[in-house]
Structure 1
């Protein structure tokens, strides 16, 4: 474990994925844990990565490596 935890409030699980947003294209991208802890990215544990929800009308792009 590299010390990065899930960004969700009260979650203390290890982060395994990174979520980023593209507001202009109304899109969220979810992929493997990013190489660095970026302030505009949200690290998520596996449970929260599976349950990602976005605003109505937005799409979620999941990196192939995240699919089971």
Structure 2
């Protein structure tokens, strides 16, 4: 039987598993755990992307198939606009 999202009211197939450690104030989002009885909570793709950590916690995305951030050319107009007016200290 396929695993489904653990969000109430959502029956979409689970694609990620998240776990957390309250003492370390960290939340991990990873690939779907191979064992359905492993600790953590399963989420569908949509709820996995929208998951956020509580204020003061850090979120670590450890998914193997997460697309990498695009590499920007140093001369990119997007970079120059983003850093316009920023002074090096």
Count residues in correspondence.
67
Which consecutive residues of structure 2, in runs of 5 or more, have no partner in the other structure?
A: 68-89
User: Using the alignment, how far apart are the partners of 2:31 and 2:45 within structure 1?
Assistant: 10
RCO higher in structure (CA 8 A, sep ≥6): 1
1:64 offset after TM fit, Å?
4.3
Q: Report matched runs for 1:18-57 at 5 Å.
A: 18-38=17-37, 40-57=39-56
Local SS of the residue matching 2:3: coil
1:66 offset after TM fit, Å?
4.3
- 1:18-56 Cα deviation digits (max 9, x unpaired): 000111100000000001123641101000010001210
Larger gyration radius, structure 1 or structure 2: 2
